[in-house]
Amino acid sequence: MEQESRLSERIADSILSMITVEKRFLPGSKLPNENILSEELKVSRTTLREAIRILATGGILEIRRGRGTFVREDFMLPQSEELSPLSSAKVNARDLYEMRLIFEPEAAFYAALRATEEEIQRILSLGREIEERIRRQEDRTDLEQAFHRSIAKATHNEFMNQLMPIIYEGIHKGVRLSSASGEAVQATLVDHKILMDFLQARNAEGARNAMRIHILHAMEQLPLESI
């Protein structure tokens, strides 16, 4: 019973991260239904319900009978006032990608070493969803951002999480540009698969190199100076 309680608390933390770190669910938005969310998080619906109850008790979620579970309208997302001037700065795409090249390979390295099993499964789930959207030729910006945020979160380094908003614009621009380049899209599919395999194997050096190659491919294939 104690082990189940700890699992529920970890799942509650994962859902909270979807709200506060990934910004996947904003105040007032509805969470996916139990079947979808429990499958994504790889837990039973009983564990998921307990995690939701924990967050509802904490004033983060609201259960509306017959309608589903929502992020409370009055829930205030944490802000990083110190970094906000940087995140709103006008910088070119090449600068953003150079920053990603410095930052994200190390995030992948530490994520491979420190991620919980739930965090690894979340990264893999997001990666598979990205593949599906690419194959359906649908916009994947939100999932790409969530994928890279989930890797940063798995480092268990709070400053890395605080830095992530600075590079969201780079991810957004990269997705927009790659949509017009079949070569870049195919590289994303291959690069993500290699990165996911290394993370699943807990191979930190492999994950670091895979992330570095992924970003270098983007810098080579995308017309960064044109935006």
Confidence (pTM): 0.65
Checking if the pLDDT of 42 tops 50, the result is yes
More confident residue, 165 or 35: 35
Checking if the pLDDT of 22 tops 80, the result is no
Residue with tokens 């019973």: 1
Checking if the pLDDT of 62 tops 90, the result is yes
* Whole-number Cα distances in Å, 19 to 13, 60, 114: 10, 9, 21
What is the rounded distance in angstroms from the CA atom of residue 130 to the CA atom of residue 39?
Answer: 16
What is the rounded distance in angstroms from the CA atom of residue 107 to the CA atom of residue 148?
Answer: 9
pLDDT tens digits for range 63-85: 998 899 999 998 876 554 444 44
On the 0-12 / 13-18 / 19+ scale of CB atoms within 10 A, 209 is middle
Q: How many residues does the chain have?
A: 227
What is the rounded distance in angstroms from the CA atom of residue 157 to the CA atom of residue 178?
Answer: 30
Residue with tokens 């979340």: 122
What is the rounded distance in angstroms from the CA atom of residue 20 to the CA atom of residue 140?
Answer: 20
3-class DSSP state of 30: strand
Query: In the chain, pLDDT over 90 holds for what percent of residues?
Result: 34
Ramachandran class of 147: left when φ > 0, alpha when ψ lies in -120 to 50, beta otherwise: alpha
What is the rounded distance in angstroms from the CA atom of residue 28 to the CA atom of residue 190?
Answer: 36
First to last CA, the chain: 55
* Whole-number Cα distances in Å, 176 to 13, 66, 71, 136, 142: 31, 38, 29, 15, 12
pLDDT tens digits for range 178-198: 555 567 778 888 999 999 999
Both tokens assigned to 44: 């039973």
